């Protein structure tokens, strides 16, 4: 998964665990796609300071993911739902059995 996309998922799942200043900087970087220089100017700090905060926040969010695996579970469930969607397009008894198996896997994971 591309780094910035992964960072976006981590931010979506765990961003509320950061303080407001960290959230503002990471939100500007990830969701508003501002450069480090733009964020630095907006926040009244140096470009290097912004870079350090983003790196530390990403490390912190990754540690949460390493312990809780919420993004990993979400991605797995998303793949399963997409598979169900594809199977449902072609109705057959075999596909219905596959849908039941996949949906049971989803329920067990939840």
Instruction: Please write the tens of the pLDDT for every residue from 45-91.
Output: 999 999 999 999 999 999 999 999 999 999 988 888 888 888 777 77
Res 94 pLDDT > 80: no
CB neighbours of residue 30 within 10 Å: 21
pLDDT of residue 99: 81
pLDDT-based confidence at residue 38 (cuts at 50, 70, 90): very high
Global pTM? 0.78
Res 110 pLDDT > 90: no
pLDDT-based confidence at residue 1 (cuts at 50, 70, 90): low
**Taking the chain, what is the end-to-end CA distance rounded to the nearest angstrom?**
23
- State both tokens at 57: 């926040």
Q: Which residues of 51-78 are buried (b: 16+ CB within 10 A; e: fewer)?
A: eebbeebbeebeebbeeeeebeeeeeee
pLDDT-based confidence at residue 13 (cuts at 50, 70, 90): very high
Res 8 pLDDT > 80: yes
pLDDT of residue 104: 81
CB 39 within 8 A of CB 28: yes
């Amino acid at each position: 998964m591309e780094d910035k996309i992964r960072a976006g998922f981590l931010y979506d799942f765990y961003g509320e665990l950061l303080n407001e200043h960290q959230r503002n900087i990471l939100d500007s970087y990830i969701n508003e796609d501002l450069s480090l220089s733009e964020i630095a100017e907006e926040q009244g700090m140096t470009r290097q300071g912004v870079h350090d905060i983003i790196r530390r926040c990403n490390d912190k969010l990754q540690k949460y993911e390493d312990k809780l695996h919420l993004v990993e579970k979400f991605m797995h469930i998303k793949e399963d739902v997409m598979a169900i969607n594809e199977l449902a397009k072609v109705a057959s008894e075999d596909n219905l059995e596959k849908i039941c198996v996949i949906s049971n896997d989803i329920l067990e994971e939840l």
